[in-house]
Structure 1
Amino acid sequence: MSLPPDSETAGQADRARWHAFAVCLGAGFMALLDVSIVNVALPSIEDALDAGPSDLQWIVAGYSLAFGLMLVPAGRVGDVLGRRRLFVGGLIAFVIFSAACGMAPSAGVLALCRLLQGLSAGTLNPQVVGLIQQLFSGSARARAFGYFGATVGLSTATGPLVGGLLIAAFGQEHGWRAVFLVNVPIGLLLIPLALRYLPGHDRRPAGRVDIDVVGLVLLGAAVVCVMLPFVVASEAQGDAPWWTVAVGLACGGLFAWWERRLERAGGSPVLPAALVRTPSFAFGVAVGTAYFAGFTGLFLLSTLYLQQGLQLTPLQAGLTLTSFALCGALSAARSGRMVQRFGRWTVVGGATVMIVGMVGVDLVAASMDGPRTPLVIAACLAVAGLGNGNVVAPNQTLTLADVPVERGGSAGGVLQTAQRVGASVGIAVVAAVFFSNLGSGGLAGGYGEAMSAGLRVNIALLCVAVVAAGVDALRRRRREPG
């Protein structure tokens, strides 16, 4: 029995949407994986390329800075000129610069290629969020963001594991090159799939393209100036250019003034006042910033504690962190249904469970030292991962729920930029506390006490996210008592 023509067409359209979504997830995973995968390869890079501390610092920091810089401009340009164009262009550039990183002959060339790789990833990533907004609505959108949240969690937590596996397979001398070159075959597979499955309705607007170039430049300058000293401070224990924070705040003030002026003149600002005044968007950005400030530093602390303190190999440390990734992916995949039923309380509950898991890690680090310690740490991280899966994707869904589809890319870019800034600030603060408490004696060679001190900063920042989410949940309940 054949389906009616309308049903058959609807089924084909639905399959096409999910095929396009799968391409988006693959590209998003690849771009976000490179934020963390390189950390385990730094000792190999140092030996192979005779890299100094400054070189290593910029190999890591350059990617993060360039990634954060491009999110909002690329999101806005994708909204105006077409998301498929930006997606495919960013993906091609990411593959090219990943190959260049893997073949870099010197530390300076590698740092430059990492910067360009970060710009490519920052161009690609906001198109993923914008395309999810474009492809789905209602419960299907919440479900899609749930899968996207699982991808974010997996890419963040499995970076050390994937890096450790590649270094173990190819050796210390060439394994670090494989960390970058692994993106090439994946990207070459995704490019034709993107051209085939992503929505092809991108038409160049007739007449003048209305893009707020001045606003984008001011916002980009503000983001880089604010992020720079925190990223530098988190990657090295040297002096950071803290004066750039003042410059960044000044650029932020100029950006706000320019946006108001442009909107009054009838222009099209990067951040319309209506979007900024949308409570769901404003609360979502606040929750995302505080949450990423609190949870991202967990991986820096865990890597140092497991490898330097407990003397695990990069692969063993990566396996210990895998419990967080797997449990986070499981809960994130179901978070779409949760957020449809419980709304903002899903985020409150998820962040609370995340705190419980991190408190468990804190107690273990402060009281245990021995061969069983990694197993207990992995169990506590599994609890934290279950909580994390119910935060990232639901917060994204709730933040963008009231945002028009034509602003999906730029709004998603603003949210991700805020998360990147929060992560940079949080990692810098946690790293400073960790190293200031690192002594030569005690549990795990002094790393246990330092780990515990750093985790308490993480937990405090997560509590800020819980409070912000709770306030928004109460606001929503008063507004919609049913």
Structure 2
Amino acid sequence: MTTPDPRRWLMLPVILSATFMYGFDLNVINVAIPSLQHDLNANEATLELIVGGYSFTYAAGLVLGGRLGDLLSHRRMFLIGMASFTLASVLCGLAQSPGELVAARLLQGLTAAAMVPQVLALITSVFPGEERMRALSWFGVVAGLAGVCGQVLGGLLLSADVFGLGWRVIFFLNLPVGVVVVAFALRLLPQADTGRRPGLDPLGVVGVSGALALALVPMVLGRGQHWPLWTWISLAASVPVGIAAILWERRLGGRGGDPLLDLALFRNRGFSLGLGVNVAFMASFTSGIFVLSLLLQSGLGLSALQAGLAFGPMAVLGMAGPVAGRRLVPKIGARGAMLLGCAITAVGMVFIGTALQALGGDINVAWLVIGLALLGFGNTLVLPLLIGATLGGVRPQQAGVASGMLNTTQQFAGTAGLAVLGTVFFSVLGSHTGRADFASAAETVVWINLALIAVMAGLTALLTRPAAKPAAAADSSPTVAAEASA
């Protein structure tokens, strides 16, 4: 049995910094949109690329980032990704034109795809089974905080106009953080690799990335351009390209090669069901936060800072969720704790939806804050356990590609949920801009999200105790998977 790395708990905040930096930069840009319009004279299409281009290149590069971690070592890819992300952030801050900022944001998303898959891969490979749940709990805390801090801290920085930098400070902030993280990562991250290193599979890279690009670009840009013909052609083309890529991956694996997508992972019931739960989770979470942010700012007239602060209780209870999960698992099992998290999230959705239905445009922000707090606790109670259940049967040799597939699924589901439910929201809203109109549109999305939470709960209930494993493999499976009761 391999002795765990004695520095693993010192290592954890270092690798989790990548999760925070990615999530922070994903969300903080929304606060800076008015400043970007004023300073760079960016039009609506350019703003969509500045905001959505980051998500697109991130999602398109995740599977490749995971594979490169398996190929070059997770330590090396983390260092390359973090250093490159820091440089790309500086380029964003130095941009003098909308085009320069778009290019820098595309690069920033791609570099994030190099570092983020290494986080879960390192947690899976470094922490033994009995400790992995604790590490994943902290992952859930950081992932939840990143989004809220992007709005709250971003609003504070822009309001303070630090050093007169305006919107640029949100990108320059990554420079000192990135330098410190790289310095600690060089000292703390393990040198060991996962054994035999796979090939790169260039055809798989082109096929999988091409299929994702064809699907994600219209999702990111379609709504703002009112879904022109090219968006539908692109979405339709993504299907045959995706099928061709999967057939190639299957053929390559069948003849003993190293496919980019390890299709054997789907024979793991926990992995397959876990991906399904992740789809419903991310579609609900991403669209819900987006719509409620619009309600607070555009509908109820709150400033970006005030809206960010309204999410504060959500962040506080979001930190409590993973801690509660660790204590609940020994008593009711991981599956029971996940179902409880789904129930609490559903209560929060019902609370918000009922308040919007009863009060309409006269709703007080306090009602939304209470519902958001319940969502924060329920979502972060689910997330670490869900990740553990999804990666429960993954061998260390598969950690990078499995993490990349999981992150890609989450990002794709979040983008799709945002595109579909964002379209529903704006369709219900129409040309109306009153408080009651925003409340009605938001209510519609809330009830749809409640249905997604019901799907989460149904798939979670299907998670069963994994089959007994040989002693040599037992330690590679996290506690959460072992405790997912039948």
Please give the TM-score of this superposition, normalised by the length of structure 1. 0.91
1:332 maps to 2:322: yes
Determine if contact 1:163/1:179 at 8 Å carries over to the other structure: yes
Secondary structure at the counterpart of residue 343 of structure 1: helix
- Tell me which residue corresponds to 2:471: none
Displacement of 1:108: 0.9
Shift of the 390–106 alpha-carbon distance from structure 1 to 2, 3 Å rule, reads same
- Tell me which residue corresponds to 2:120: 129
Partners of 1:33 and 1:89 in 2: CA distance: 19
Shift of the 410–231 alpha-carbon distance from structure 1 to 2, 3 Å rule, reads same
- Tell me which residue corresponds to 1:96: 87
- Tell me which residue corresponds to 1:261: 251
1:210 maps to 2:189: no
- Return the match for 2:411 from 415, 420, 424: 420
Displacement of 1:365: 2.5
Q: Give the letter aligned to residue 262 of structure 2.
A: P
- Tell me which residue corresponds to 1:50: 41
Partners of 1:345 and 1:398 in 2: CA distance: 12
- Return the match for 1:277 from 252, 267, 271: 267
Which stretch has the larger CA shift, 389-398 or 236-245?
A: 236-245
Displacement of 1:372: 7.2
Partners of 2:389 and 2:161 in 1: CA distance: 43
Shift of the 348–234 alpha-carbon distance from structure 1 to 2, 3 Å rule, reads farther
- Return the match for 1:181 from 172, 179, 182: 172
- Return the match for 1:149 from 140, 156, 169: 140
Determine if contact 1:289/1:419 at 8 Å carries over to the other structure: yes
- Return the match for 1:222 from 193, 211, 227: 211
Determine if contact 1:234/1:427 at 8 Å carries over to the other structure: no
Unaligned runs of 5+ in 2: 468-480
Q: Give the letter aligned to residue 223 of structure 1.
A: L
Partners of 1:77 and 1:445 in 2: CA distance: 50
- Return the match for 2:281 from 281, 291, 295: 291
Partners of 1:390 and 1:118 in 2: CA distance: 27
Partners of 2:383 and 2:484 in 1: CA distance: 23
Secondary structure at the counterpart of residue 222 of structure 2: helix
- Tell me which residue corresponds to 2:237: 247
Partners of 2:164 and 2:454 in 1: CA distance: 43
Partners of 1:481 and 1:73 in 2: CA distance: 34
Q: Percent identity?
A: 34
Partners of 1:301 and 1:432 in 2: CA distance: 11
Task: State the Cα deviation string for residues 268-319 of structure 1 (Å, max 9, x = none).
Answer: 2223343111101000111101110111111211111111111111100000
Displacement of 1:36: 1.2
1:140 maps to 2:126: no
Which stretch has the larger CA shift, 459-468 or 134-143?
A: 459-468
Task: State the Cα deviation string for residues 118-151 of structure 1 (Å, max 9, x = none).
Answer: 0011110000111001111212011101110111
Q: Give the letter aligned to residue 322 of structure 1.
A: G
Determine if contact 1:287/1:469 at 8 Å carries over to the other structure: yes
- Tell me which residue corresponds to 2:110: 119
Which stretch has the larger CA shift, 195-204 or 404-413?
A: 195-204
- Tell me which residue corresponds to 1:386: 377
Partners of 2:127 and 2:485 in 1: CA distance: 27
Q: Give the letter aligned to residue 275 of structure 1.
A: L
- Return the match for 2:337 from 342, 346, 349: 346
1:233 maps to 2:222: yes
Partners of 1:115 and 1:285 in 2: CA distance: 26
Displacement of 1:449: 0.9
Unaligned runs of 5+ in 1: 1-9
Shift of the 461–328 alpha-carbon distance from structure 1 to 2, 3 Å rule, reads same
Displacement of 1:242: 2.1
- Return the match for 1:321 from 293, 298, 311: 311
Partners of 1:203 and 1:380 in 2: CA distance: 44
- Tell me which residue corresponds to 1:66: 57
Displacement of 1:63: 0.2
- Tell me which residue corresponds to 2:290: 300
Determine if contact 1:85/1:202 at 8 Å carries over to the other structure: no
- Tell me which residue corresponds to 1:6: none
Task: State the Cα deviation string for residues 127-179 of structure 1 (Å, max 9, x = none).
Answer: 01110011112120111011101111111232211211111111898431112
1:456 maps to 2:451: no
- Return the match for 2:24 from 11, 26, 33: 33
Determine if contact 1:234/1:424 at 8 Å carries over to the other structure: no
Partners of 2:203 and 2:121 in 1: CA distance: 22
Partners of 2:221 and 2:285 in 1: CA distance: 19
Determine if contact 1:442/1:449 at 8 Å carries over to the other structure: no
Displacement of 1:340: 5.3
Partners of 1:298 and 1:181 in 2: CA distance: 29
Q: Give the letter aligned to residue 73 of structure 2.
A: G
Determine if contact 1:144/1:336 at 8 Å carries over to the other structure: no
Determine if contact 1:439/1:447 at 8 Å carries over to the other structure: no
Task: State the Cα deviation string for residues 174-216 of structure 1 (Å, max 9, x = none).
Answer: 43111211111111111101111111225997xx962222222
Shift of the 46–172 alpha-carbon distance from structure 1 to 2, 3 Å rule, reads farther
Please give the TM-score of this superposition, normalised by the length of structure 2. 0.90
